[in-house]
Amino acid sequence: MVRQARSEATRRRIIDSAVALINEIGYPASGLADIIERAELTKGALYYHFESKEAVATAIIEEGMDTILGAFRSAGRLGSPAMENIVHGWFVVADAIMGDRVAQAACRLLRTFGGFNPAAKSTYGDLEAEFAERVRSAVEQGDVRSDIDADAVVATVLASMLGAELVSSALTDGRDLRRRFARTLEILLPAIVTVDALGYYREFLARQSMRISPSS
Amino acid sequence: MVEQADRRADATRLQIVKAAAHEFATRPYSQVNLDEILVSADVTKGALYFHFRSKHALANAVIEHRAELGWATVEQIRTNGLSGLETAIDVAYLIAVSDIGEADARAGLNLLEAVGRFDGLQAKVLDVWVNGFAALIRRAIGEDDVVEDVNPEHAARLLVSMYLGLRQTSNLDEPESFIRDLESMWMLVLPGFANPERLGYFAGFIRRRSALAIKNASPLRASNL
Contact A75 B209 (CB under 8 A): no
Question: Which chain B residues have a beta carbon less than 8 Å from that of A92?
Answer: 81
Please tell me the pTM assigned to this model.
Answer: 0.81
Contact A79 B93 (CB under 8 A): yes
**Cβ–Cβ < 8 Å for A79, B216:** yes
Q: What is the pLDDT of residue B11?
A: 87
Average pLDDT, chain A: 91
pLDDT by residue (tens digit) across B73-111? 777 666 667 899 999 999 999 999 999 999 999 999 999
Q: What is the pLDDT of residue B79?
A: 63
Whether the CB of A92 is below 8 Å from some CB of chain B: the reply is yes
CA distance A75 to A19: 26
Q: Which whole-number Å values give the CA distances from A93 to A138, A213, B178, B208, in the listed order? A: 19, 11, 36, 24
Q: What is the pLDDT of residue B224?
A: 45
Burial class (CB in 10 A: 0-12, 13-18, 19+), B201: buried
pLDDT by residue (tens digit) across A86-141? 999 999 999 999 999 999 999 999 988 877 888 888 888 888 999 999 999 999 99
Q: Nearest to residue A131, comparing CAs of A72, A204, A67, A64?
A: A72
Contact B200 A199 (CB under 8 A): yes
CA distance A104 to A81: 29
φ and ψ at B115, to 5 degrees? -120, -15
Contact A200 B204 (CB under 8 A): yes
pLDDT by residue (tens digit) across B139-190? 999 999 999 999 999 999 999 999 999 998 999 999 999 999 999 999 999 9
CA distance B87 to B74: 9
Nearest 5 degrees, angle CA B160-CA B84-CA B173? 40
CB neighbour list of residue A77: distance below 8 Å, 6 or more residues apart: A85, B77, B80
A214 pLDDT higher than 60: no
Q: Chain B residues within 8 A (CB-CB) of chain A?
A: 77, 79-81, 83, 90, 93-94, 97, 200-201, 204-205, 208-209, 211-213, 216
On the CB side of A14, CA atoms within 13 Å amount to: 30
With a threshold of 0.90, tell me whether the complex ipTM lies above it. no
Q: What is the pLDDT of residue B222?
A: 47
Q: Which residues 63-82 of A have a C-beta within 8 angstroms of B?
A: 75, 77-81
Contact A79 B209 (CB under 8 A): yes
Contact B81 A80 (CB under 8 A): no
SS3 (DSSP) at B196 = helix
CA distance A100 to A74: 16
CA distance A95 to A212: 10
Q: Which of B90, B200, B204 sits opposite A79 (nearest CB)?
A: B90
Q: Which of A141, A200, A214 sits opposite B201 (nearest CB)?
A: A200
B6 pLDDT higher than 80: no
CA distance B159 to B135: 13
pLDDT by residue (tens digit) across A164-193? 999 999 899 889 999 999 999 999 999 999
pLDDT, mean of residues A32-56: 93
Q: Which of A79, A81, A84 sits opposite B97 (nearest CB)?
A: A79
CA distance A132 to A135: 5
Q: Nearest to residue B82, comparing CAs of B205, B212, B217, B216?
A: B205
Residue B20 carries which side chain, given as an amino acid letter?
A: A
**Cβ–Cβ < 8 Å for A49, A14:** yes
Average pLDDT, chain B: 88
Q: Which whole-number Å values give the CA distances from B19 to A24, A181, B74, in the listed order? A: 59, 49, 24
